[in-house]
Amino acid sequence: MSDFSPSDGAPAGRGADRGLLAGRRILVVGAGTRRSDDPDAPVGNGRAIAVVAAREGAEVACADVDEVAAAGTAKRITDTGGGAHVLVGDVGDPGDAARMVADAALRLGGLDGVVVNAGIGTGYGLAGTSVADWDRVLAVNLRGPFLVAREALPLLGEGGSVVFTGSLAGAKPGSRSPSYDASKAGLEGLARHAAAEGAPRGVRVNVVAPGLIDTVMGRSASAGNADRERSARLIPLGRQGTAWEVAEAVVFLLSSRASYITGQVIGVDGGLSTLR
């Protein structure tokens, strides 16, 4: 019997005393969900990751550039009896990144895992991408994970885990934003390097690479329901994924069940990456 009865589509958890992340202290950077005027808007990856981690027994520091979004995630956790803290900062700013990691370690009493989920996309094609667009996307999507990993890796001990949220766009073109594609490809190289540095101390680093996931960000990139339905027909499993399904993969990689997995890119894409 589950200890939770969520009404938001989230999978039920096992409870703090016996979940996959029981007793673990997790920082999720980018833990909010993009704001939307749609009352039925889907949850974002960061919020789903934080909520599922808490439902699997972790105490979670919810960090985001948007304090309201971070607080909304933390409230979902505390409303079901979990432990959550709100942190605010811009992941692409070196001072903010260092402060978020240090504050999370202080509030949680240490760190066992870190998720860097923050990501943006802007620009359309090479001609439609300004230098400012390029620099901002790379600052959030690639410099941010580098800054967080640099600060967090020394604080993680044996069994520690870092998970970056990448994208299928890191391996295949399709986002229409060259800065987004490049940042996600670079993230995979960063993860392999960090995995090599962390391995001697038993710290693992991996990437979860979602495909077409039904989130507010995903919907804003499409032209509407008809466009999403056309996209779904391209996926071998015949549908878009949900942020909750991305979260399950992330939580697995944070857990001891993934103790021999490091330096890997795990696709959560319904088989889309298998197509040429």
Per-residue pLDDT tens digits for 137-175: 999 999 999 999 999 999 999 999 999 999 999 998 778
Residue 153 within any structural domain of the chain: yes
| CATH of residue 73 | 3.40.50.720
The predicted pLDDT at position 226 comes to: 57
Residue 18 within any structural domain of the chain: no
Q: pTM score > 0.85 for this model?
A: yes
Residue 33 banded pLDDT, cuts 50, 70, 90:
confident
- Residue 176: which domain range? 25-264
Residue 154 within any structural domain of the chain: yes
Residue 11 within any structural domain of the chain: no
Q: Which tokens in the block code for residue 159?
A: 């069994």
Least confident of 1-10, 38-47, 100-109, 127-136: 1-10
Q: What is the pLDDT of residues 7-23, one digit of tens each?
A: 456 666 555 567 999 99
Q: Which residues are catalytic?
A: 180
Q: Any idea of the CA torsion for 126, 129, 132, 136, to the nearest 10 degrees?
A: -90
Residue 15 within any structural domain of the chain: no
Residue 256 within any structural domain of the chain: yes
Helices (H), 37-166: 45-55, 67-79, 94-108, 131-138, 144-152
Residue 51 within any structural domain of the chain: yes
Residue 191 within any structural domain of the chain: yes
Number of domains making up the chain: 1
